[in-house]
């Protein structure tokens, strides 16, 4: 983030009372409980949002060398992203054209793509190159007619995006909706992946994102962990198309604005979160990048992948232990406090006795996120709103 932007944000805080809710949205919002608990609505979300919208998959460094690949689930569509020999990326449905088996698992690096079921081999560009020990059995199906099915993929500003359906002309700029003006300043192209971990929670995917959209809960839910250092009443927000930005503030930020303006630094006192509807968020946290990706498995079940990236490879045991401690702390707070409560909330919403949720004017990012979700579903003609 440019220094001019950091100063601009600090100016907003100069006369703010840290114990009063600020800023406030124009109105509260009521969202029906069925938005989290209705199976039919969930299927609409998977189809419209997770198949038909760009999905953030990771940082470019996770798929760096020719033959490097990552896999993902895009609203039920198995996806495979492969770095090409010319440096570009190609995206495919992760299913062999023979019998539909996945041709890759997880992430890694290979000189080609080989199906584990019957050994069919594809080049990095998805073209079929060999059907071992069986060419005569398929002599009426030329190999050039059997490539892996393509999906749209885009890369820019150190991020990888894919879209399973309707993604013709996909670009990183289109996916970011203006957030690139800030994202580019972080130099994500130079970060390295330290570690990723996955957990499955019995929650609707939106509850995972909800907890990152407001600081209102910090004083109560995190009173024994991060509340002593973070503000609960004051945060900053912005939006980029459907994507809200939520900036959590350390209490030290109010000491910063007492200094001469020439000495102001904003980022060391913040947790700066860019929530990319619907796939997850990236966070700049003082000296590293975090990424949270959500994969909806069922209306009340979500796979959450958490990754931490460092600005340089951790080459010593001390450096590795430092990043390990950061990830451990992150997952302990969310895993012990946020997500277990989200599971209880999900059970309450699924019971049918809670008619709706009321988002406060002190939760502007939360309101923006759900208005964006509802608008996308409405524009697709969904009847489950």
Q: What is the pLDDT of residues 122-165, one digit of tens each?
A: 999 999 999 999 999 999 999 999 999 999 999 999 999 999 99
Rounded alpha-carbon distances, angstroms, from residue 108 to 61, 65, 83, 95, 354: 12, 10, 11, 17, 45
pLDDT at 261: 93
Kindly indicate the confidence band of residue 366, based on its pLDDT and cuts at 50, 70 and 90. Answer: very high
CATH topology for 1-49+178-385 is Naphthalene 1,2-dioxygenase Alpha Subunit; Chain A, domain 1 (3.90.380)
For residue 237, what are its two tokens? 């927000």
Of the candidates 55, 46, 92, 116, the one whose C-alpha atom is nearest the C-alpha of residue 305 is 55
Question: What does pLDDT average to over the chain?
Answer: 97
pLDDT at 286: 86
Report the alpha-carbon distance of residue 252 to residue 268 in Å, rounded: 9
Q: Looking at residues 363-369, what average pLDDT do you find?
A: 98
What residue ranges of the chain are covered by domains with CATH 3.90.380.10? Answer: 1-49+178-385
Q: Does position 12 have pLDDT exceeding 90, yes or no?
A: yes
Q: Looking at residues 23-41, what average pLDDT do you find?
A: 97
pTM of the predicted structure, to 2 decimals: 0.96
Rounded alpha-carbon distances, angstroms, from residue 288 to 4, 74, 186, 284, 326: 21, 27, 10, 6, 9
Q: Say if residues 58 and 70 touch (Cβ distance below 8 Å).
A: yes
Q: Does position 385 have pLDDT exceeding 90, yes or no?
A: no
Q: Looking at residues 330-346, what average pLDDT do you find?
A: 97
What residue ranges of the chain are covered by domains with CATH 2.102.10.10? Answer: 55-169
Q: Does position 370 have pLDDT exceeding 90, yes or no?
A: yes
Q: Say if residues 57 and 81 touch (Cβ distance below 8 Å).
A: yes
Q: Looking at residues 108-116, what average pLDDT do you find?
A: 97
Of the candidates 126, 130, 20, 115, the one whose C-alpha atom is nearest the C-alpha of residue 83 is 126
CATH topology for 55-169 is Rieske Iron-sulfur Protein (2.102.10)
pLDDT at 1: 84
Report the alpha-carbon distance of residue 206 to residue 294 in Å, rounded: 9
Q: Does position 384 have pLDDT exceeding 90, yes or no?
A: no
For residue 104, what are its two tokens? 């890759």
């Amino acid at each position: 983030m440019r220094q001019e932007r950091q100063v601009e944000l600090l100016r907003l805080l100069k006369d703010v009372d840290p114990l009063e809710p600020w800023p406030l949205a124009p109105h509260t919002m009521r969202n029906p409980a069925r938005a989290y608990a209705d199976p039919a609505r969930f299927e609409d979300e998977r189809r419209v949002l997770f198949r038909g919208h760009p999905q953030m998959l990771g940082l470019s460094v996770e798929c760096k060398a020719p033959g490097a690949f990552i896999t993902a689930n895009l609203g039920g569509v198995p996806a495979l992203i492969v770095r090409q020999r010319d440096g570009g990326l190609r995206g495919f449905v992760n299913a062999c054209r023979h019998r539909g088996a996945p041709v890759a698992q997880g992430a890694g690096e290979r000189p080609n793509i080989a199906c584990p079921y019957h050994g069919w081999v594809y080049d990095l560009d998805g073209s079929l190159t060999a059907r071992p020990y069986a060419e005569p059995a398929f002599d009426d199906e030329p190999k050039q007619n059997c490539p892996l099915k393509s999906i749209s993929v885009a890369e820019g500003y150190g991020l990888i995006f894919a879209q399973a359906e309707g993604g013709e002309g996909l670009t990183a700029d289109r996916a970011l909706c203006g957030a690139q003006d800030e994202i580019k300043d972080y130099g994500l192209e130079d970060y390295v992946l330290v570690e990723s971990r996955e957990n499955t929670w019995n929650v609707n995917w939106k509850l995972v994102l909800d907890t990152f959209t407001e600081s209102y809960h910090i004083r109560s839910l995190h009173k024994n962990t991060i509340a002593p250092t973070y503000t609960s009443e004051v945060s900053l927000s912005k939006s980029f198309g459907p994507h809200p930005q939520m900036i959590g503030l350390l209490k030290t930020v109010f000491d910063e604005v007492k200094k001469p303006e020439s000495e102001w630094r904003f980022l060391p006192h913040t947790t700066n979160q860019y929530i990319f509807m619907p796939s997850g968020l990236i966070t700049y946290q003082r000296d590293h990048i975090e990424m949270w990706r959500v994969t909806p498995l069922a209306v009340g079940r979500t796979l959450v992948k958490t990754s931490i990236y460092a600005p340089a490879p951790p080459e010593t045991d001390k450096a590795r232990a430092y990043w390990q401690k950061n990830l451990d702390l992150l997952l302990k707070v969310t895993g012990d406090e946020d997500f277990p409560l989200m599971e209880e909330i999900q059970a309450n919403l699924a019971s049918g006795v809670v008619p709706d949720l009321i988002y406060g004017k002190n939760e502007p990012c939360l309101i923006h996120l759900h208005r964006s979700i509802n608008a996308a579903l409405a524009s697709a003609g969904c009847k489950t709103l």
